């Protein structure tokens, strides 16, 4: 089946630094990738949708200059959290969908802790 990986699985960083999270589709071409954020005991919140080769579409309330998304190839999307603050601490999950499929395949998630 379709496999999506994320790296790193967890990261601790200091306030003010930047963190990059990678999302890769391992056995299919992901024309669309989605980035979600999930706070404890809450549902998934879509942050942005990215299509290969074009700029990401951000959801209302998500700062595009703070959460930089790059979908440079059909198998890789990156999310960079710039100038991280403790309130950015969350579980970040990516998902990917190929043009032939209706389903989104989820990565295992990245737990970010900003100290």
Binding site for another protein (CB under 8 A): 34, 42-44, 46, 49, 91, 93, 102-109, 111
The least distance separating another protein from the CB of residue 83, rounded to whole angstroms, comes to 26
Nearer to another protein, 18 or 26 (CB): 26
The least distance separating another protein from the CB of residue 6, rounded to whole angstroms, comes to 8
The least distance separating another protein from the CB of residue 34, rounded to whole angstroms, comes to 8
Nearer to another protein, 75 or 95 (CB): 95
DSSP string over the chain: ---EEEE-SEEEE-TT--EEEEEEESSS--SEEEEEEE-TTS--EEEEEEETTSPPEEPTT--TTTEEEEEEETTEEEEEE-S--GGG-EEEEEEEE-TT-S--EE---EEEEE-
Nearer to another protein, 63 or 103 (CB): 103
């Amino acid at each position: 089946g379709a496999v999506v990986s994320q790296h790193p699985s967890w990261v601790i960083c200091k306030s003010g630094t930047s963190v990059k999270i990678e999302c890769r589709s391992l056995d299919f071409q992901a024309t669309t990738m989605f980035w979600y954020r999930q706070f404890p005991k809450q549902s998934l919140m879509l942050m942005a949708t990215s299509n290969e080769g074009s700029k990401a579409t951000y959801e209302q309330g998500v700062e595009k200059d703070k959460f930089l998304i790059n979908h440079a190839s059909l198998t890789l999307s990156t999310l960079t959290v710039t100038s991280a603050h403790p309130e950015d601490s969350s579980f970040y999950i990516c998902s990917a969908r190929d043009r032939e499929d209706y389903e989104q395949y989820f990565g295992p998630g990245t737990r970010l802790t900003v100290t």
